[in-house]
Amino acid sequence: MSSFDFDLYVIGAGSGGVRASRIAASHGARVAICEDSRVGGTCVIRGCVPKKLMSYAAHFAEDFEDAAGFGWTVGDATFSWETFLQRKDAEIDRLNRIYLKLLADSGVTLHEGRGRLVDAHTVEVDGRCYTAEKVLIAVGGKPVKPDFPGNEHCLTSDEIFHIPHLPRRMVVVGGGYIAVEFAGIFNALGVEVHLVYRGDQILRGFDADVRRVLAREMQNRGVHLHLHSEIASVEPAGQTLQVQLQDGSTLETDRVLCATGRVPRTDGLGLEKAGVYVNAKGEIPVDHDSRTNVPHIFAVGDVTGRVLLTPMAIQEGHAFADSQFGGRYWCPEHDNVPSAVFSQPPVACVGLSEGEAHTLYEDIDIYLSEFRPMKHTLGGRESRTMVKLVVNRADDRVLGCHMVGDDAPEILQGVAVAIKCGATKARFDATVGIHPTAAEELVTLRKPVRTGH
């Protein structure tokens, strides 16, 4: 009989932590998990899920406009932010209950409160200590604000889902996926949106053509992009906020959303007492088994700084539990991981960007097409879709696929399987397209638009 209270203690009940605890318990381990917020984590409670629901709500604005081109007469359409909040909150509550039930049905003990390590085998939660043979850290990340005067008047992505009223104007600070998603959503809901970003183009780290096309499409939809620009200060001005930019110009707005990145929630975890190494970014480095520098302490998800995606955290947690408690050793693969940006229009990609491919391969071919989707020929919208393939000329293997346009995330999930399997451009060419669709463009790209050395 083990002298520990539990075989595994998980700190953090987000997607990765919940999956790891459930799988470990299914293998017969005695498991406990703690959470200082709501079970479900960032994705379910204040991230992917409510954001996607908000994105769906925003898309109806264009659908109502486009319907006229297809013969529909649509009456005056109005949007109720308050009704949406009620429906959104009810769905989040439902998912939270599901996660709680999953833990209970799996036999996992839930402790509500912030957990911290007292030593290498002891976790304290609200003054009570529990010992465990192995510890898994799955605390995720949290949003951060830039350091400028008046940032206390700004929202982060944690609070944006709960503002009581839809603002008339909004300034979004940042150029990453969270910033462009919320900028597009609120713009579609009728808010005047100004996106302020210090870089030369939005979505740093994404393929250059993706960045170019999305910026164009966002501007065509009415989002005001302020590139090479930073906020100097934010000051209340009656019922509004006065945003001073570093170039001396000002923006008057009702809300300011800071979407400038996230950091791991490692502060206050007592990692130093357990001897767990944390790097300068606050991340916990781990090996391919998700093991920290302390052999019996592991970490999964965003806190590790690897691939910051919920499905990746789930896979890491599952692999950890199978390997450590189920006698089934396997490692998650962190290459060719597909991802999406639920912008307006959405972005999806898998594999290497053109720039990344240039650094790794001697000769590459770029296949690219921009076109007006059939839906917009009658709807009258000028929006254009882009699809792009990055191919290694030496062996014809498709290294990356990128898409900007309606349904891009739904389309690229299947393409990701092909790329994961090492599909060649010849296999893409030999595949019959589904006509008429935007997706068929991926198998009809015949001539490269450029080559690279």
The residues carrying an active-site annotation are 435
Look at residue 230 and give its three-state secondary structure.
Answer: coil
Tell me the C-alpha distance between 350 and 420, whole Å. Answer: 9
Q: Is the distance from CB of 61 to CB of 39 less than 8 angstroms?
A: no
Token readout for 121 is 């085998």
Token readout for 42 is 């960032």
**β-bridge mates for residue 172, sequence order:** 195, 257
R_g (Cα) of the chain, nearest Å: 24
Look at residue 379 and give its three-state secondary structure.
Answer: helix
Q: What is the DSSP string of 382-440?
A: ---EEEEEEEETTT-BEEEEEEESTTHHHHHHHHHHHHHTT-BHHHHHHSPP-SS-SGG
Look at residue 44 and give its three-state secondary structure.
Answer: helix
- Spell out a b/e string for 264-280, using b for 16 or more CB atoms within 10 Å of the CB, else e: bbbeebbbeebebebee
Tell me the C-alpha distance between 424 and 173, whole Å. Answer: 40
Report how far apart the first and last C-alpha atoms of the chain are (Å, whole number).
62
Judging by DSSP bridges, how do beta strands 31-35 and 6-11 pair with one another? Answer: parallel
